[in-house]
Amino acid sequence: MSENLQNATLSCVTPKLTMPMKTSSFYGVFLTLVMCGLLSHSTHAQVLNQPTAAPNPNLGSTDAWTSACASASFNEYFVNFTWNPPLVDSNNEFILELSDASGDFGSPRELDRASDKNTEFDFDFSFAVPEDVQGENYRFRVRSTSPAVTSPSSDAFSIYYIGYSSPILISQDASGVIPPGGTLEVCDGSSITIETHNVPDAGTYQYKWYRSGTPLSETSNALVVSQSGMYYVEIDYGINCSGSANTLSNTIEVVITTPLGVAINTPSTTTLCPSESVTLDANISGMDYLYTWFQGGDIVSGPTVDASSYIIDGATSGFEGDYSVRIEGAGICAEQSSAITISSAADFTVSRINEPNLVLLPGQDQILEVSTTALSPTYQWYQDGVAISGETSSSITINEPGIFYAEVTQNGGACTLPAKNSEETTVVLPNSFEVIIDYVGTYSDCSVENTTLTVLQINALDADGNRSDVTSSLRSSFTYQWLKDDAVLPGLTADELTLNDVSDNGFYTVQGSITTFNATSNPLSIRLASNETIDITSSGLQLCDGVTVTLSTTTDLTGLSYTWTKDGAMVSTTETELIVTETGTYQLAISSDGCPIQSNDIVITDFDASVVVIDAGDNLVFPEGSSETVTASGASSYAWYDQGNNLISSTDSVTLSEEGVYLVIASVGDCQISQTITVSYRDNFEIPNVITANGDGINDLWIIPNSYSNNAEVSVIIYNEKGEEVINENGYRNNWPESSIAFAKKNQIFYYKIKNARETLRQGTITVIK
């Protein structure tokens, strides 16, 4: 026996493997794995060990890293990984994964993968730190893909990508303006915000803020300050990386002071005519303070030194509003006054009350009217741009066409103002009317079961064909009569019509009348969908050899227009019952007033023999004198026959006690499936461990009991002394060794394993004597 074989035998007595093992020694221990049963994935799993930090070979270092401070200038790290046999599959990949900052692998991040390490038990992964990784408790793990095994997670590591590594600049509200001397005065009871203004993507980092050297709890890039102190900030890259990043900011000193109580003195007036102005004065002046004047939230002046006054001009458009002033300067806090409202004393409005388009019907007058906010108004009405003598009130009665408006003048008051004109009103004498109807909401033929028609618009047409929209003024004055297919619909005289039955399908118009005028609207087509249903049934749902399926319906199709479809394509328009010979989705559609009524879908498929399951295989082996019960499922009926073609059972199971070939015929609808089962008595002899392959016809082949041979669920594996597979097959046919095999030695030892899907059934040695 070879030295490797001797070592393998000893290892099986006292199993002990020292791992990780180098590739060069793999084949020397392979036979040990075979004999000890360690090569089976079903009984032993690979052991993936905890990954550990490793030195960077490109730096010549022998020390493993303890924390990672990556940046654009350096970002290369290594992790060592070891694993123990059995071997992984040839298509396996090892994947290095990173947790989140808390060490959780709920959504792991892939850092590296290796597909060429399936025979290396000790190797390094390399990886670069992703730019969004920042935290103290990151962990690694390694996962294999075939078989699927996951290693324990590594120890926790501090890992940061240093995306910004320059000194930070901070200012009030991130304005970019660093205060003179680095000092900001803040009024007692108020607060300001200090914020970084030079860090790109500032919100992606966490920060450490300090007040006079004391760490604060705020971790964003902005800090609300209401206490005196020296404030500065740095990006938090952890204990090990923050110092190397050098991000410490400038310092801003905040001083809390008492406010001066700035206010605007009461002005001489708060309402201005266009020719007037008013000066606003702050109650604090001089002292070289900066003054900023606001209208609402907008700056209108400053900041300017000693600009304690601001002039508002009534001739300036949009001067009306709320005005306030802010002061700031050395030794005082920035403070803003309450607002004073300045308004216009001159403005007034003129509004038209009637509709913009009016119609003069025969024998009728129209009244036009305006309203105004002028305090003491006078009026003058115009027709086609010419003043109408004597029409000087807020309303006018007219009986002829034209374009009319009123001119309004404000008399007295504080200001002298120009006159204002109202909006124009167009008054027409109609030559005819046009009535337009439309659907209410969305409508399309055959898609809805109800809809409403409405009078959408009424136009007055003059002698030249010009249109004026008079819907709002005359819609309620018209009388209406609805027609279907040019026939009057008695009693339907409203300006809207609701339709909700297929019997309502047709073409609709409405006649509109007012005084001596009559107009017929445009026509609208109505084709409502039917709420009827149609059902189709099937004689079966599966096709098989010689078996077809018939589709039918209980609806009487006589005299109807209908279509059978398969997968949306027409297959017949004449058959009341459809014979199906192809798989697909079938449907029947009946035409109702031009709209189809769709049936339910019926899906026809090919017969699937796999639905019938028999709990025994093709070969059944049991000891003579005993019996086995075989059960089938998935069919609607069963017939069991012995080898003499005698029916022995018509239920889903049968008990067999005699050798022979049995037949079961299972029916699913009109389709059938048959299967034979061969029953053999179990052999009583043991598995031989010696054969004489000398060609004399006696004991030339390795014959094993029929409970193992010719069984597709059982695999037989034979190894030579080197641990190489000689055969590996399911359903072994008692035919090894073949006569053509040449043996290297007169007496040669082989090793076998007999397995099913779950376990190793037998194993041992075979001595071949020549």
Q: Convert the pLDDT of each residue in 246-266 to its tens digit.
A: 899 999 999 988 888 999 999
Query: Considering only 121-130, 181-190, 407-416, which range has the smallest mean pLDDT?
Result: 407-416
- Nearest Cα to Cα of residue 613 among 680, 656, 655, 675: 675
CB atoms within 10 A of CB 6: 10
| pLDDT at 11 (0 to 100) | 35
CB atoms within 10 A of CB 72: 10
Give tens-digit pLDDT for 11-53: 333 333 333 333 334 334 443 443 343 343 333 478 999 999 9
| pLDDT at 42 (0 to 100) | 38
CA distances for 60 relative to 55, 63, 64, angstroms: 8, 9, 11
Read off the pLDDT of each residue in 299-327 and give the average, rounded to a whole number.
93
Read off the pLDDT of each residue in 531-553 and give the average, rounded to a whole number.
89
Q: DSSP states of 339-398 as a string?
A: PEEEEESS---EEE-S-SEEE--TT--EEEEEEE--SSEEEEEEETTEEPTT--SSEEEE
Residue 237 has pLDDT above 90, yes or no: yes
Residue 555 has pLDDT above 80, yes or no: yes
Residues 150/140, Cβ–Cβ less than 8 Å: no
Confidence bin at 4 (pLDDT 50/70/90): very low
Residue 724 has pLDDT above 50, yes or no: yes
Beta bridge partners, 367, equal: 397
Residue 192 has pLDDT above 80, yes or no: yes
| pLDDT at 325 (0 to 100) | 96
Give tens-digit pLDDT for 146-155: 999 999 999 9
The dihedral through the CA atoms of 485, 491, 495, 501 has a sign that is negative
| pLDDT at 38 (0 to 100) | 39
Which domains are seen in the chain, by residue range? 40-161 (2.60.40.10), 170-257 (2.60.40.10), 271-344 (2.60.40.10), 350-428 (2.60.40.10), 432-526 (2.60.40.10), 536-606 (2.60.40.10), 609-681 (2.60.40.10), 690-769 (2.60.40)
Confidence bin at 317 (pLDDT 50/70/90): confident
- The 3-state secondary structure of 367-381, one letter per residue: EEEEEECCCCEEEEE
Angstrom distance (rounded) from CA 665 to CA 650: 9
Angstrom distance (rounded) from CA 261 to CA 284: 9
Query: Considering only 346-355, 363-372, 387-396, 434-443, which range has the smallest mean pLDDT?
Result: 346-355
Residue 407 has pLDDT above 90, yes or no: yes
| pLDDT at 375 (0 to 100) | 81
Residue 179 has pLDDT above 90, yes or no: no
The Cβ-side half-sphere exposure at 729, using a 13 Å CA radius, reads 10
| pLDDT at 31 (0 to 100) | 38
| pLDDT at 39 (0 to 100) | 42
Give the CA dihedral 355, 360, 363, 367, nearest 10 degrees.
Answer: 30
> What mean pLDDT, rounded, does the chain reach?
88
| pLDDT at 272 (0 to 100) | 87
Read off the pLDDT of each residue in 632-651 and give the average, rounded to a whole number.
93
Confidence bin at 616 (pLDDT 50/70/90): confident
Read off the pLDDT of each residue in 222-229 and give the average, rounded to a whole number.
94
Confidence bin at 714 (pLDDT 50/70/90): very high
What three-state secondary structure class fits 10?
helix
| pLDDT at 23 (0 to 100) | 37
| pLDDT at 683 (0 to 100) | 79
| pLDDT at 460 (0 to 100) | 92
Give tens-digit pLDDT for 576-601: 999 999 999 999 999 877 788 889 99
Residues 406/350, Cβ–Cβ less than 8 Å: yes
| pLDDT at 307 (0 to 100) | 94
Share of the chain above pLDDT 90, in %: 62
> Pairing relation of β-strands 157-161 and 67-70?
parallel
CA distances for 708 relative to 38, 689, 714, 716, angstroms: 22, 15, 6, 8
| pLDDT at 24 (0 to 100) | 37
Of 115 and 548, more confident: 115
Residue 432 has pLDDT above 50, yes or no: yes
